[in-house]
Amino acid sequence: KAGVTQTPRYLIKTRGQQVTLSCSPISGHRSVSWYQQTPGQGLQFLFEYFSETQRNKGNFPGRFSGRQFSNSRSEMNVSTLELGDSALYLCASSRPSLSSYNEQFFGPGTRLTVL
Amino acid sequence: GENVEQHPSTLSVQEGDSAVIKCTYSDSASNYFPWYKQELGKRPQLIIDIRSNVGEKKDQRIAVTLNKTAKHFSLHITETQPEDSAVYFCAASNTGNQFYFGTGTSLTVIP
């Protein structure tokens, strides 16, 4: 089974631009979560999508948005980029389950640099 | 919301010694506590997890303990090896698939 994939792997943008990141979950996984990883801050939760609906949202400004398609692929958009948005953006997928304990499988991440 | 604190931020041990990483959480509703290992330049990978109805879980050289009353859980690695060198993250989750991560512990095992 193929793992979680993310594209692109690296991005360089300038302040004020916008960017779209893509995540393809493991086949059969319907939940996709997005995280921002920066040195010293660990992984900070952005949002989670399940069956094309945003189910959970972290404490990030409205410049950060996302969506999920019917095939469970997800995109994350950041508008009006700021220098502080430079980070590794990770997505993680998990399969639907009656259990509340759903292991998350991470993608390789997209390294975003804002100049 | 949930707040997860992780200590220490860096840890160096001699090969063969044990390493312990501790996390505390604030939300008593959290009921699932995974630990992830992230090697340099790689994605985080689950190494062990524990559910709130269990106090301890062991998998070879790795063990996790949970104290629900005190709201803390710990990762124990015995007989450390150089390949254990990585950043380790703890996390807490409640029913809802929203995970809160600690800030990570950079473990270095000195040969």
At A87-110, the pLDDT tens digits run 999 999 988 665 556 788 999 999
Distance CA A7, CA A62 (A): 22
All residues of chain A having their beta carbon less than 8 Å from the beta carbon of residue B44 are 43, 90, 106
User: Could you say which of B1, B32, B102 has the minimum Cβ distance to residue A42?
Assistant: B102
CA dihedral B92, A68, A95, A33 (to 10 degrees): -20
What are the tens digits of pLDDT across the range B26-78?
Answer: 999 898 999 999 999 899 999 999 988 889 999 999 999 999 999 999 999 99
Q: What pLDDT shows up at residue A101?
A: 63
All residues of chain A having their beta carbon less than 8 Å from the beta carbon of residue B96 are 55-56, 100
Distance CA B33, CA B15 (A): 27
CA distance A14 to chain B (A): 24
CA distance A84 to chain B (A): 17
Distance CA A90, CA A106 (A): 7
Q: What pLDDT shows up at residue B54?
A: 82
Pairing status of strand A110-114 against strand A10-13: parallel
CB contact under 8 A, A100 and B94: yes
Please, which pLDDT band fits residue B98 given cuts at 50, 70 and 90? confident
Q: What pLDDT shows up at residue B94?
A: 81
All residues of chain A having their beta carbon less than 8 Å from the beta carbon of residue B98 are 33, 45, 48, 56
All residues of chain B having their beta carbon less than 8 Å from the beta carbon of residue A101 are 31-32, 49, 51, 93
Pairing status of strand A105-106 against strand A42-50: unpaired
